[in-house]
């Protein structure tokens, strides 16, 4: 059963309250800040109401020892209730782990949304071994001695070569009131629950409403087999758009292409 007493997720609500709503769910080790450049554009250029969310154990949302897709989907459902967003007009977008949260909510509570947008993740099981170096890097930062972001970057670099990945992770670093550093993410729980974060999304009933999967052309998170069997089985009314020369962080690498795909999908005619 989902936690009934879980606090409300931290979120940022932008745009005209009467506009068509778009809800954004970030990926593992991310925050709502990762999507803010695009979120502002969808508000200003597409006329959408954009609600960006910090999922549990991430950003400024609450920490919990429990971290599952069922619980995260229920957290999002509670936020949708709180905001009283019109489900007949709502587009729910999720990237990576957030995409699996979005898929879970769509499959278990389809009446809550009009359509679904999933960025570079398939419903199948994801092997999370590629996250081991990231977890090792995050755990290598010694907060008892840390005095600067540069020192934290140097500690991460012992395990993570890519500067872009390190900068993404360092968005989680903040100073506490006593001026010491800490991670906003609940690292012990996320490290312990990596296998659960990789789990397959299943359902006895498919989600029949319009669904768009956006994949990076150089990413292997959505395979040819996913396109042929895994995705259509659960999302029969789905399309897959590939963004060339983009990896897993497709929205950061090719923001203009993702802006247009999401704008066109989220502003499709819906019943008022």
Which pLDDT tens digit goes with each residue over 118-169? 999 999 999 898 899 999 999 999 999 999 999 999 999 999 999 999 999 9
* Alpha-carbon torsion (30, 34, 40, 42), positive or negative: negative
Q: What is the pLDDT of residue 271?
A: 47
| 128 CB-contact burial (10 Å; exposed 0-12 / middle 13-18 / buried 19+) | middle
Is the pLDDT score of 270 beyond 80? no
- CA atoms of 24 and 101, how far apart (whole Å): 11
Query: Is 96 part of the annotated catalytic residue set?
Result: yes
Domains in the chain and their CATH numbers? 11-125+199-267 (3.40.50.1820), 129-193 (no CATH)
Among candidate residues 96, 126, 219, 238, the one labeled active-site is 96
Q: What is the pLDDT of residue 122?
A: 98
Average pLDDT of the residues of the chain: 95
In this prediction, residues 240-248 reach a mean pLDDT of: 97
Q: What is the pLDDT of residue 48?
A: 98
Strand-strand pairing, 11-14 and 49-53: antiparallel
Among candidate residues 10, 26, 67, 248, the one labeled active-site is 248
Secondary element (H or E) of residue 233: helix 231-234
Q: What is the pLDDT of residue 171?
A: 95
In this prediction, residues 42-61 reach a mean pLDDT of: 98
* pLDDT tens readout for residues 39-50: 999 999 999 999
Angle between helices 132-140 and 163-170 (to 10 degrees): 60
Query: Is 248 part of the annotated catalytic residue set?
Result: yes
């Amino acid at each position: 059963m989902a936690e009934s007493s879980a606090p409300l997720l931290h979120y940022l609500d932008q745009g005209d309250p009467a506009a068509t709503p778009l809800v954004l769910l970030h990926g593992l080790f991310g925050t709502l800040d990762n999507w803010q450049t695009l979120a502002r554009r969808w508000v200003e250029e597409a006329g959408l109401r954009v609600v960006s969310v910090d999922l549990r154990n991430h950003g400024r949302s609450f920490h919990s020892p429990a971290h599952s897709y069922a619980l995260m989907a229920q957290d999002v459902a509670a936020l949708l209730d709180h905001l009283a967003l019109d489900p007949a007009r709502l587009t729910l977008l999720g990237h990576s782990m957030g995409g699996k949260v979005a898929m879970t909510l769509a499959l278990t509570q389809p009446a809550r949304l009009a359509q679904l947008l999933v960025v570079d993740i398939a419903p199948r099981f994801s092997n999370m071994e590629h996250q081991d170096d990231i977890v090792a890097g995050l755990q290598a930062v010694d907060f008892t001695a840390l005095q600067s972001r540069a020192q934290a970057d140097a500690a991460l670099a012992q395990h993570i070569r890519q500067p872009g990945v390190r900068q993404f992770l360092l968005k989680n670093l903040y100073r506490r009131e006593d001026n010491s550093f800490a991670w906003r993410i609940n690292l012990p729980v996320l490290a312990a629950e990596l296998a659960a974060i990789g789990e397959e999304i299943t359902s006895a009933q498919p989600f029949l409403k319009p669904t768009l999967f956006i994949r990076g052309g150089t990413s292997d998170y959505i395979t040819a087999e996913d396109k042929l069997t895994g995705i259509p089985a659960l999302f029969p009314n789905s399309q897959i758009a590939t963004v060339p020369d983009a990896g897993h962080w497709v929205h950061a690498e090719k923001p203009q292409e993702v802006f247009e795909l999401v704008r066109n999908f989220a502003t499709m005619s819906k019943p008022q």
